[in-house]
Amino acid sequence: MTQKRVVLVTGGMGGLGETICTKMADAGYKVAATYSPGNKTHDDWVAQMKKRGYDVLAVPCDVADYDSCQVCVAKIQADVGPVEILVNNAGITRDMTFKKMDKVNWDAVLRTNLDSVFNMTKPVCDGMVDRGWGRIINVSSVNGSKGAFGQTNYSAAKAGMHGFTKALALEVAKKGVTVNTISPGYIATKMVTAIPQEILNSKILPQIPVGRLGKPEEVAGLIIYLASEEAAFVTGANIAINGGQHMQ
């Protein structure tokens, strides 16, 4: 790689997002990460990353807001160059049964998890097509493939991401741009490891044939592959990374 390609990771300060950022930097990419405008810890995060040897450009962005995403991408382009790899990783959960689900919690999840994919892809895709090279990687979930009790909003959004992937992949395939989905299962992030051990042991791990949680590094490794030159023939795919929990 003569010049470092620029990768943008949405939700880059979360458990999985941070690992994607550090592993992409280790692989030789220039990394930019979004954080929620209300997050007051971004300076501490950037400083901590610098101590670890990672120079990550942190940019405030409300991924659910189209204009905010336009401003975010323009700043990244001005500071470090055009986005050549986009990792749509930002996401939230608002779990409850459909009986209890209200419009506010439906909208919050659909806007953050699905509208964000349009909002972030729109300002970078044309540039990728014009340059004849690009990678768009959408981070979905095993629950978008198999459904999950209490997650009609989340499962719908995550399934929608892959519909977007397949359609856009067809449109840009001849332009050197690939679009893929990855669907992680239970990964050992702070959110998952906060689940009581007895619940993990009795309810979650028995569903996973390999008998353990996934590692964030394993998910990041798959993303690095999809971003590589060697993955140029992979497009429109939904790659499961769930330890055998759900097979398609």
- CATH number at 11 reads 3.40.50.720
Residue 160 zone, left/alpha/beta (φ > 0; ψ -120 to 50; rest): alpha
Locate the DSSP E strands across the chain: 6-9, 30-35, 57-60, 83-88, 134-139, 177-184, 238-241
- Structural domain range at position 155: 6-239
- Does residue 231 sit within a domain? yes
Please check the confidence at residue 40 and state whether its pLDDT lies above 90.
no
Q: Mean pLDDT across the stretch 50-78?
A: 97
Please check the confidence at residue 228 and state whether its pLDDT lies above 60.
yes
Of the residues 66, 154, 186, 225, only one is catalytic, namely 154
- Does residue 183 sit within a domain? yes
- Does residue 144 sit within a domain? yes
More confident residue, 148 or 38: 148
Q: Indicate the number of domains in the chain.
A: 1
Give residue-wise pLDDT tens across range 127-175: 999 999 999 999 999 999 999 999 999 999 999 999 999 999 999 999 9
- Does residue 1 sit within a domain? no
- Does residue 245 sit within a domain? no
Percent residues over pLDDT 90 in the chain? 91
Active-site annotation holds for 154: yes
Give the confidence band of 37 by pLDDT, cuts at 50, 70, 90.
Answer: confident
Give the confidence band of 193 by pLDDT, cuts at 50, 70, 90.
Answer: confident
